[in-house]
Structure 1
């Protein structure tokens, strides 16, 4: 499977809330660089992150555009996050079911058919404004 096909499958699993499908595409030592916080290394920490996100947010991605480079190793993704803030996340504003639409992007590295890096970016101040902070 190409890097592009792997990443497309990853995001299809995301929109289907198939967390195990996402995890199955990750290398055991995946490096996860979220927009905020420390870098997580390993599938177990990524699974913890997914569980946390599922508790706090209900999200679907739309307007997904994939950009692949010719070496079949890296894929960039641009998308719009359509979400509901359903449970208060740590020190962020109180969740009351606020809905938001937020542009975002990600960069992924794929080696031997497994995703070895996921880096995600979005505008946190904009998200906070959208949820009424």
Structure 2
């Protein structure tokens, strides 16, 4: 049976926008790989959960203008969106957080297996983000 990858990704982003990390985690395979923009690869749900926890403390983000692209066989998908955020707590190695707001185009590539997300690879322009939060 072919899974509707677009529906899985839409549910993932609904959970993201609701601040529902558990909802996001429920859509991930146990062996998920999280490829971080300009960073390493996190392996497994536990590390993804830690990432979500950290993000929830340091940033408040809502995604808008989400457009989802999905392969007909249900194994791959991608999404393009706008990140509307607020920088709440300083992340090590980044500018000081003072509640700065930012708007950033971004995109994510996904791999899926048996209706669960096995890879999340997100890209955005870190230089643009640094420029926005440093100017505020």
Could you say whether these structures have the same fold, taking a TM-score greater than 0.5 normalized by the shorter chain as the test? Answer: yes
Which residue pairs with 2:83 in the alignment?
A: 81
RMSD: 0.9
* Deviation of the 1:70 alpha carbon: 1.9
Distance 1:89 1:9 in 2: 28
Distance 2:46 2:38 in 1: 19
- Which stretches in structure 2 are left out of the alignment for 5+ residues? none
1:49 and 2:25 aligned: no
Distance 1:34 1:16 in 2: 21
Which residue pairs with 1:5 in the alignment?
A: 7
Which residue pairs with 2:65 in the alignment?
A: 63
Deviates more, 1:66-75 or 1:108-117: 66-75
Misfit runs of 4+, over 4 Å? none
TM-score by length of 2: 0.95
In structure 1, which of residues 104, 117, 122 is the aligned counterpart of residue 106 of structure 2?
Answer: 104
TM-score by length of 1: 0.97
Aligned residues: 133
- Which stretches in structure 1 are left out of the alignment for 5+ residues? none
Distance 1:37 1:70 in 2: 30
Which residue pairs with 2:42 in the alignment?
A: 40
